[in-house]
Structure 1
Amino acid sequence: MGALDGIKVLDLSRVLAGPWATQLLADLGADVVKVESPKGDGTRGWGPPYIDGDAAYYHACNRGKRSMIVDLKSEEGMTILHKLIQASDVVVENFKTGTLERFGVVPEMLEGKILCRITGYGQTGPRASEPGYDLALQAMAGIMSVTGPADGEPVKVGVAWIDVLTGMMAGNGILAALFHRERTGEGQTIDLSLYDVALMAMVNQAQNWIASGADPQPMGHAHPNIVPYQAFLASDEWFILACGSDLQFANVCKATGATTLQRDALTDNSGRMAARAEIINTLSTIFKTHSAAHWISELNQVGVPCVPIQSISQAFTDHQAESRNALWHLGDQVSVANALRFMSKTPAVPSLPPPKLGEHTQQILSDWLGDE
C-alpha cells in the first residue's frame, strides 16, 4: 500500500515542473490523471530521442499516470474539467496567471482541496504575468552568474535545474497540505513560482552576498567557501577532490607529499582560502605525476572524498547505482527510479509506464465521474 493510496491528483500541468511533482506523487501511490489537449503535452514532441513514439523528455516525468484528452476550448470540456476538479483531492496547474479563473473555476469548487499553482514568477508581483522557462529563470535568479569558468561566457546548469527543484518543492508542499487537511479538513492553495524556488536554491551563494555585500563570481569547478574542493587534472584525466575538513586537508598533504602546505597558517579553512592560489598550483603540479585512478585510490584510503568525473552512462552503470536499482523496468521500458524507493514502510514503487495521449479517457470518465 502506497502512502498516497486513494488520493486523486488532477494534473493540468505541462512540460516539467508540474509533471515532475505529480510523477513523484504517483510513485507514492496517488491516482494521477493527466489532462491533455487534443494535441497533447508539448514535450511529447521534444525529441529525438523517442521512446514508443513520444520523446524521452516526456517519458522522464510522466510515469505512473493515466492520460485523458479534454478540449478546454469547448463548453463540454469546461464541464468535464469542473467535474474532474470536484472529484479530485489535489489539483496541479501551471497555466498563466488568471487562466484557471477564466475557465470558470470558483473557490467553492476547491473547498477542502489542495490547489498547487506553478508559474514563472508567482500569482502576485510586477512580473506575475510574465512567462517563466527554466533557462530564463536561471538567468534571472543569479545561478548563471556563478556557473562556468571565470571570465567565460554565461553557462547554464546541464539539466533543467529550476524546473526539477520546483517540482520537488511542489511535492513537499502538497504533502504538507494533505497532512494539514488530514488534521483539520481544510484545503489550501499553494502559490509556487520557479523564481522563488530558484532564489531559495541559491543557498550559500545568496548568504555570501548578504554577509559581504559582494556579488559571488563564477569559479568554474572550484568552491567559493572551501579549499581545495574542485577538479584537478591528473596525468590522464580530470578527477574531483572534495576536501571538506581540516583533518582531510592534512591527509591530502600526507598522501601527496605536499610538504610546503604542511604549516600552521593552512590548518584551518580561512587560512586555506587566503592561500587558494598557492594550494591549487602546488596540488595541480603534484597530481599531474600520476593517473586519476592512482590519486582516487590514494586519497580515499586516507578518508578524503575523491572520485572520477563520470558520464551519465557511467553513473547509471556504476556498481553502486546497479546495486541500488537506480533504473526501474516498466514492461519493456526503462525509467529512472525514485530516490524514495528505500522508505521502510511506504516506499516509492513504479506502476504504469508513461501513458499514450488520451489512452485512458473513457476509463477516467467512468471511474472518476461515473459516466458510462
Structure 2
Amino acid sequence: MTSTETPGSPPQKPPSTSGSATTPTGPGPLTGIRVLDLSRILSGPFATMVLADLGADVVKVEDTKDGDDTRQWGPPFQGTEAAYFLAANRNKRGVSVDLKTDQGREFVLRLADRADVLVENFRPGTADRLGLGYRELSARNPRLVYASISGYGQTGPWASRPGYDAIAQAQSGMMSITGEPCGPPLRPGIASADIGAGMWATIGILAALLARGTEGRGQHVDVSLLDGQLAWLTYVAGGYFATGHTPRPHGSAHPTIVPYQALAAADGHLMVAAGNDKLWQRFAEVLGAPDLAGDPRFATNPDRVRHREQLIPLLETALARRSTAEWTEALEAAGVPCAPISTVEQALTSPQSVAREMVSVLQHPTAGRLSVVGSPLKLSATPARIRTAPPLHGQHTDDVLAETGYSPDEIAQLHAAGAVR
C-alpha cells in the first residue's frame, strides 16, 4: 500500500490494462472437466483456480454463514470483497451449502457423482465424518480423481494435526535457511507452503486424469504442505546429504555460487547473478576491477565461495561509485545478469509483465474494476484464460442446483430449510 492509499481503497495507479485478458475464443485444455471444490483459504483454491484457468468447470462450495474464511481476511477490501479472496477464486462458480444438513450433503453428493475431480483441504478424517470421504465417493463414482491437501498428509504420526502455512515452513527447514546469517529465522513474503501444496496438487490431479484415460479409474491424490516444502529443499537437502552439515541462511546470497546476491550500490541494491567464471570475469571488468578477476582467491567459483567474506565488501566498495540504474545498464550491455530490486508495483507494471499478459482486468459485481495476476501457463494451442470474476457468496447456487436436476419447488424447499443459500 502506498502512502496515498487508505484501507479498502483501490491503488491510486492501477496496473496497465494493455495486458488484460481477451474474451475466450476457444476451449481450454481442461474444457469438459468438472471440478468440485470443497476447499478454502489458499492451497486448495489456488489449485482449483489453476484448473479453472485451463478451462475446467469449477464449482466452489462454501458454507451458508460466512463462506470461505478469506472473505473476511482484510483489509484491504475492494468493494465488499476481501482482496485475499479475490486473488485465488476467479473463473469459478460459487454455491453455498450447509454440509451439516442431510439435504446439503445430498446436493454435494450429487455434484460429486457428476464430477471428474474433487479437491478438499479438511483436516484428515473430517471429510469421512461428513460422508464425503474418498472411499464413499469413489464407490459412487469410480472415475473420480479425489485430491486431499492437508498439513501433514493422510498418513503418519502427525496426520491428525491441523495444517498451517507458517507451521509447515517452520517444520520443513525452510525458515531455518531464510534470512540473514546472524538474524532470526524468517518466512517468505508469500504463503509458500500453501501455494506450493496447491501446485503439487494440480500436478497430481493432472497426472491422475491422464492415468484415468488408460486405467479407466480415478484415484486418491494425497498432498501435504510439509511434503511440498521438503521437496522444494532440492539442492539444499542435497548439500546436507553430501556433507552432513546443517544448512544455514545466506540472506539474498546463494550457498554455492558467488557473487550471486543483492549488492549495495550508491542508491540501493542490485541483484547480480554471476553464475560461472566467464560471467565473473565480465562483472569484474565492468566494475573496473580486473585485479579481482586475477586474484587467486577469486579465480574460480569454489575459490569465491570459500572467500566470499573477503570478496563481497570489495565488490560493494566498487559498486558504491554509481547508481543501480547506471550499473544495470553497464552490466546488461556486458551480458552480466543483474536487476534492481523491484517493488510489487514495479514488477506488475513492467513492460515485460504487460507483454506477457500477467495482469488481467475483470468486472466484478460489487468490487467493480478488478485487476488480477494472470496465468503463467502459456500454451500455444489451448491457452489458459481469465474468463470470470470470483463469485459472490452463493452466486450460482440456484443455477447449479437446476443443472443437477433439482426442480424449482425443490430449490425453494432447500432455501427454506437453510440447507443452501
Write out per-residue CA displacement over residues 146-201 of structure 1, whole angstroms, 9 at most, x where no aligned residue. 11111212211000011111111111111111111122211110011001001001
Provide closer, same or farther for how the CA distance between residues 111 and 45 of structure 1 changes in structure 2, counting only shifts above 3 A.
Answer: same
Show the counterpart of 2:253. 222
Show the counterpart of 1:27. 53
Amino acid across the alignment from 1:308: P
Q: Offset at 1:299?
A: 1.1
Amino acid across the alignment from 2:370: Q
Show the counterpart of 2:292. 261
Show the counterpart of 2:203. 172
Write out per-residue CA displacement over residues 283-330 of structure 1, whole angstroms, 9 at most, x where no aligned residue. 011001111111111111111111010100011111111222211111
Show the counterpart of 1:96. 123
Please report the TM-score for the alignment, with normalisation by the length of structure 1: 0.97
Distance in 2 (CA, whole Å) between partners of 1:237 and 1:221 is: 14
Write out per-residue CA displacement over residues 257-291 of structure 1, whole angstroms, 9 at most, x where no aligned residue. 22332227333211111121222121011001111
Amino acid across the alignment from 2:166: L
Amino acid across the alignment from 1:170: A
Q: Offset at 1:339?
A: 0.6
Provide closer, same or farther for how the CA distance between residues 299 and 138 of structure 1 changes in structure 2, counting only shifts above 3 A.
Answer: same
Distance in 2 (CA, whole Å) between partners of 1:182 and 1:366 is: 29
Show the counterpart of 1:5. 31
Matches within 5 A, 1:131-170: 131-170=162-201
Distance in 1 (CA, whole Å) between partners of 2:146 and 2:407 is: 25
Q: Offset at 1:248?
A: 0.1
Provide closer, same or farther for how the CA distance between residues 76 and 370 of structure 1 changes in structure 2, counting only shifts above 3 A.
Answer: closer
CA contact (8 A) 2:149 2:222 kept: yes
CA contact (8 A) 2:280 2:293 kept: no
Show the counterpart of 1:352. 388
Distance in 2 (CA, whole Å) between partners of 1:369 and 1:155 is: 51
Show the counterpart of 1:321. 353
Provide closer, same or farther for how the CA distance between residues 255 and 67 of structure 1 changes in structure 2, counting only shifts above 3 A.
Answer: same
Amino acid across the alignment from 2:247: P
SS, match of residue 390 in structure 2: coil
Show the counterpart of 2:335. 303
Structure number with the bigger relative contact order (C-alpha 8 A, sep ≥ 6) is: 2
SS, match of residue 155 in structure 2: coil
CA contact (8 A) 2:123 2:163 kept: no
Show the counterpart of 1:212. 243
Distance in 1 (CA, whole Å) between partners of 2:105 and 2:290 is: 74
Show the counterpart of 2:370. 333
CA contact (8 A) 1:112 1:185 kept: yes
Structure 2 gap ranges (5+): 1-26, 364-368, 409-421
Distance in 2 (CA, whole Å) between partners of 1:337 and 1:371 is: 38
Distance in 2 (CA, whole Å) between partners of 1:203 and 1:163 is: 18
Distance in 2 (CA, whole Å) between partners of 1:326 and 1:350 is: 11
Please report the TM-score for the alignment, with normalisation by the length of structure 2: 0.86
Q: Offset at 1:369?
A: 3.9
Amino acid across the alignment from 1:353: A
SS, match of residue 339 in structure 1: coil
1:50 paired with 2:50, answer no
Amino acid across the alignment from 1:156: R
Q: Offset at 1:370?
A: 5.0
Show the counterpart of 1:284. 316
Q: Offset at 1:222?
A: 1.1
Q: Offset at 1:59?
A: 0.6
SS, match of residue 262 in structure 1: helix
Distance in 1 (CA, whole Å) between partners of 2:45 and 2:330 is: 44
